[in-house]
Amino acid sequence: MTTATLQFSANNYVDWWQQTHASRQDAQTMWESSDRSFRDHLVGAVQLCLPAISLYELGCGAGPNLRRLRAACPDLILGASEPCDPLAAWVEEHLSITPDRTALPEPPLGQWDLLVSCYVLSYLDDQEVAYALRALHRPRPQALILLEPDMGAVGFEGLGYRMNDATGEPFLPVWFHDYPKLLPATGWTIQWRWPFPQTGALVYTELRTIVVAVPA
């Protein structure tokens, strides 16, 4: 991970996401990643928030997190958003959940107890992520759970990118935000924040911290 000159924001990330996740094979690959170790910590954070009744994931992809949550918390009502049609169709087919086709920074429709963002806010720059966090505050959920790259993972704040292992070229711009500063400034109180290790052959080294915040 390194600093980047690529510009990538809410204005164009949906187009990029559609282009790079356009097939059922892409959806299946993402679906089968549900056993990644970082998802264990997401499930644990959700279980800490029970007896919440409902959970909404922002940008659910092909549903690997929802798949894990359905197995671990079968009584939890699940909803989601996903702007990429093939991924949303996969979620509907395999989990009987129809994702809203909205993208950040739009808040979910209706009232949900828990909101989850996993590697989604990292597509937004500082101004956009602040707008999104304020928008997500408006429905007054019980808690917001963030599993996102943050500056604590890499030692700098700002724009970086993941490198393609095969080509050595940058392929995924990532914003590293200072959530201990950003969340209180946008109406949230951090209830829990803890680092965690990842295990297994495939890890996201920039995903090292989980945050549970509540409306201030």
**CATH number of the domain where residue 74 is located:** 3.40.50.150
Domain range for 97: 2-215
Which CA distances in Å does 186 have to 84, 116, 135, 216?
28, 17, 9, 9
Sequence-distant (6+) residues with CB within 8 A of 35 are 200
pLDDT tens profile 83-120: 888 999 999 999 999 999 887 767 788 889 999 999 99
Given a contact cutoff of 8 angstroms between Cβ atoms, the answer to whether 191 and 213 are in contact is yes
Instruction: Report which of residues 169 and 37 the model is more confident about.
Output: 37
Residue 55 predicted with pLDDT over 70: yes
| Strand order through the sheet with 114-118 | 77-80, 54-58, 114-118, 143-147, 209-215, 188-195
Confidence class for position 32, pLDDT limits 50, 70, 90: very high
pLDDT exceeds 60 at position 201? no
Q: How many structural domains does the chain have?
A: 1
* Cα–Cα distance, 183 to 73 (Å, whole number): 27
Which of helix, strand or coil describes residue 160? Answer: strand
The winner for highest mean pLDDT among 19-23, 62-66, 134-138 is 62-66
> For the chain, what is the largest distance between any 2 Cα atoms, rounded to a whole number of angstroms?
46
For 102-139, letters b (16+ CB in 10 Å) and e give bbbbebbeeebbbbbbbbbbbbbbeebbbbbbeebbee
Average pLDDT over residues 9-14: 56
